[in-house]
Amino acid sequence: MKPTTDLPGVQWIPSNSTVGHAFIEGECSRCAKDAPSSQGKPFEECDDHELCPILAASSRSEAVEWRRMPDGEVKCLGFVEAGSATPARCDKTQDMFEGG
């Protein structure tokens, strides 16, 4: 687990694949940020904006947004309820890829 000063709690890394899969089924299946998990859309048919980078980072144990909160609850800080609009990209952040 990696403590960070700018995020609440500590990074949570599943202890095994069963625990990780249960978290993904419970959280990612209800999140608007990943179409394969929440909508059942085939991965190969998704555009980049339909794939959650947090979920991808979790396979490398780098999902710093997966947090164990001080009360013991485990949650994803990037979670957006399926059916809700995903937050727009910050218009103050420069586009690294010019128009992407």
**Domain spans of the chain?**
10-76
pLDDT 10s digits, 26-55: 999 999 999 998 899 999 999 998 999 999
- The residues near 27 (Cβ < 8 Å, ≥ 6 apart) are 75, 76, 79
- Nearest-angstrom CA–CA distance, 57 and 68: 17
| Band (92; pLDDT cuts 50, 70, 90) | confident
Phi-psi region of 83 (alpha: psi -120 to 50; beta: other; left: phi over 0): left
pTM as predicted: 0.75
Q: Which two tokens stand for residue 32?
A: 């608007």
pLDDT above 90 for 2: no
- State the pLDDT confidence band at 100, using cuts at 50, 70 and 90: very low
Q: How far apart are CA 49 and CA 53, in angstroms?
A: 9
